[in-house]
A and B are shown apart, each in its own frame.
Chain A
Amino acid sequence: MTITIDANEVDRRLLMDRSLAGRRAFTLPGSDVPEQSLPDSSLLREDVELPEISQLEVIRYFSVLSQLNFSIDTNFYPLGSCTMKYNPKINDELSSLPGLSDIHPLQPDETVQGAIRLMKDLQDDLGEITGLPGVSLAPLAGAQGEYAGLLVARAYHASRHDEKRTIAIVPDSAHGTNPASAAMAGLEVVTVRSDEQGNVDVENLRELVNEKTAVFMLTMPSTLGLFEPNILDITNIIHDAGGLVYADGANLNALLGLVKLGDLGVDICHSNLHKTFSTPHGGGGPGSGPVMVSSELAKFLPTPVAEQTDHGYVLSQPAMSVGSINGFHGSFSIVVRAFAYIKALGCEGLKSVSENAIIGANYIQSKLKDKYSIVADRYCMHETVLSAANQKKRGVSGLDIAKRLLDFGIHAPTMYFPLIVEEALMVEPTESESKETLDHFIAVMRQIDDEIDRSPELIFDAPHELPVKRLDEVAAVRKPVLRWSPEG
């Protein structure tokens, strides 16, 4: 019998399938204290079924797995709304410094003055950048920042005995966390339409606001990558009705030094440090989603807020705080990285970030809009939403194009979002990418469009060059296998 081994096959066996009794990757020191009696054996367990493998195998297993990933370090990753910019290596190094990575969250304030001061300085910088000076770094991700912001809005209305305000108005282009967070905050979600230019339909908004409007949630720039030209009218309409304006700052990378949200009448916003401020996405977190508010709302912020007092820096609870939304003080080592990023760029550098991000996105849009349609023929901000509607008519979907891009080593754009654009492909190049990379992307997108008529099978069957081809996601749901088991 001959066994054929495929030269390209990656060994995908799980850790438990590599386990061999007696192997070890690690030893612990022996106990240096007199032996203590163990608790009643009825409380104790036998073994925990963890793998038994050598140290080299641990390293090789995870190293080989890592090579199955696309990442910013290895690929162009124009994933819209996710701001996949360069994650500076120095930031990782600084966040793991002794004195920052090994301090306990419940140490007395006087023993962690450097850490609290760093938080305070980042709060100030974020307040300055957004024009909203009340800042809490507590939220652990954008969705938590959003929820915290909505709690602040509710607390504000409650403090005015205006508790009938239970409606959140959300544009039809909004990210899914907006309505999900609003529902968590007990708000009823009402959707406002976008007009044919991709802007909020101001007339529709006027009809929707009333004495029950708690908050209007707007992504700035919008998920279409557009700056809302009627923003001043919008914030006035909401304020006149007694509501607050919440800006989802997921797309803040377009605005650094170009405009402050607070100047536009925004009352509350959050920012994703893992987007605009370059902290790594980690394959799906950790994130950090500081919430910024006007000075009037600062007393409602979630706990804690770093403050400078006569006795030094302290972590404190705002007077009418909405409380603690997680265990400790937020994603501190992410905060460290974001602060390092701001320090490295400084005022001029941050502005240059947004300028270059906008220039790159418009360049791509201008070079592709003859092939891939855009919602409205206008300039975009830091990202452009292309539509594969023309390609769909020729039998190829946005999904197919996304999968074909992977063959060229380019990560797919964000697909099918925002929901209001047919076959949406949302492209965000970021300021980190060189013109050569953008030109390559443009060339590949044009080539794929060409392939539709020339060799469509290349697209339908894509990706060809990756560790796996398209996966059966239907089977994954119908018969879920969610963990290793001895039966395989």
Chain B
Amino acid sequence: MSRKLLIILISFLLIAGIGGFLAYRMVFQDAPLSVENEKADFVISAAALVSAFETNESQAMKRYGGKIIEVHGEIDEITIKETSTTIVLKSPEDLFGVLCTFDSSVANAGSFRKGSAITVKGICNGYLTDVALNKCSLIK
């Protein structure tokens, strides 16, 4: 009896395990990367993020590259295209800011105003003229 129960239990766990793994793959890995429902790895101001890359780019890349960043700052530039909306958050560096790309499906993109304060969550890709974040979602 106990052996039979054990077999049933093991097969149940095995099925649940495989099912869970497949579900995980289907939901998280076969789907596009999305951070909307994920917790941010770092919460930081646009100024501090730019300064980290400006001071030591490779070190900042190790720390922030590929990570989910929640960043707050003031909107300096807005570019609206068919497939995406891009904003640049100001930093004291003046020339460099934080570039945030939103998919066109993002609601409120039309309500972005230059000079207004904003908090955005996205994946940090590194540093070109600006620190670049994509897959962005609006926090507030």
Bind each other: no
| Chain B interfacial positions (CB closer than 8 Å to A) | none
Q: Measuring CB to CB, which residues of chain A are less than 8 angstroms from any residue of chain B?
A: none
